[in-house]
Amino acid sequence: MRDFSHDRTALSLNTATLGHNLDGHGAGWTPEQVIDGCAERGFGGIVFWRRELGNRAAEIGERVRAAGLRVDGLCRTPYLTGRDAGSDAEIQASIDMAAALGAPILTIVTGGTEPGTKGGAESRKRLADRIARHAPHASDCAVRLAIEPLNPMFGGNRTCVFTVRDALEVCGLVSMENVGIAVDVYHVWWDATLEESLEEATDHIYGYHLCDWLEDTGDMLLDRGMMGDGVADLKFIRSAVEAAGYSGPCEVEIFSARDWWLRPPGEVLDKIVDRFHTHC
């Protein structure tokens, strides 16, 4: 297991953590301010959201690299299943945006249960078909696709992939070299089978996301905790992820309308650095 007590090379910021990818939240820092703030503090990389990039993906990617940082990923495809699924053109555009940004990873939040079906199994089959249709283009763009299981509370309208095991089942159905998974502690911390599931994931973990699960989580979407403030066993989860071969970025992604999004971004970044060394 890597020692992060004095090393922040792996530390990556998901820009959602500063709140500015949701209207009315956060201090509204521009991508340039975020890049400078991360570079000053020795972060290793940044993960952006599509809405921040507009038609400036290539320009912003260059700016990141010029600051000595990595672009670690792009968040995320439109939904691929469920009532709110995006079109093929929209999905392809998200792949093209990742390529323009120079992002090696594009995260997939799958979308919910397919209309006219029940449960998750049929939706996961259709999800696999849809990913298989887009993965070759992603491969041509040197973009890997990371299927992210979401906490089961997001079933219905946001996901049909609830566990690492579900995500690996979909990867197996797609069976392409550039399709893997992302592991977010918020979504998987509760899973007693996590360690054994991850053993099957060798070399197909494309992302590891950090935050914490607050003991009194009061909002499904926007009440994530800072690492160390909750009950997730962060070091245990990372050890399992690394035992499965992962050696990539640790991406901090905290949706927190009640707490962290109300604070100055510089203070949030400082706290992340501190907690990364001591709690992750």
- Judged by the rule CB under 8 A, the positions of this chain that interact with a second copy are 83, 112-113, 117-121, 124, 151-153, 155-157, 162-163, 165-166, 169, 189-193, 213-217, 220, 230-234, 236
CB atoms within 10 A of CB 117: 15
Q: Are 196 and 189 in contact (CB under 8 A)?
A: no
State in angstroms the smallest separation of the CB of 25 from a second copy. 19
- Closest distance between a second copy and the C-beta of residue 151, in Å? 6
Nearer to a second copy, 193 or 202 (CB): 193
Distance in angstroms (rounded) separating the CA atoms of residues 280 and 245: 17
If the CB atoms of residues 142 and 231 are measured against a second copy, the closer one turns out to be 231
| Smallest gap from residue 191 Cβ to a second copy (A) | 7
Task: Output the smallest distance, CB 156 to a second copy, in A.
Answer: 4
Q: Which is nearer to a second copy, 162 or 208 (CB)?
A: 162
Contacts of 277 (CB under 8 A, 6+ apart): 4, 5, 6, 8
**CA 45, CA 34: separation in Å to the nearest integer?**
11
Q: Provide, rounded to whole angstroms, the least separation between the CB of residue 172 and a second copy.
A: 13
Using DSSP's 3-state secondary structure scheme, residue 207 falls into strand
The structure tokens listed for 197 are: 């599931």
Query: What distance in Å separates the CA atoms of residue 31 and residue 182, rounded to the nearest whole number?
Result: 23
Phi (first) and psi of residue 73, to 5 degrees: 175, 175
CB of 157 to a second copy, least distance (A): 5
Handedness of CA 271, 276, 278, 280 (dihedral sign): positive
Q: Which is nearer to a second copy, 38 or 85 (CB)?
A: 85
What token pair was written down for 113?
A: 């249960």
Sort residue 189 into left (φ over 0), alpha (ψ -120 to 50) or beta: alpha
Residue placing its CB nearer to a second copy in the complex, 28 or 119: 119
Sign of the CA dihedral with 210 first, then 211, 215, and 217 last: negative
- C-alpha–C-alpha distance, residues 10 and 45, integer Å: 7
Residue 112 CB, nearest approach to a second copy (Å)? 6
* CA–CA–CA angle 190, 193, 198 (5° rounding): 105
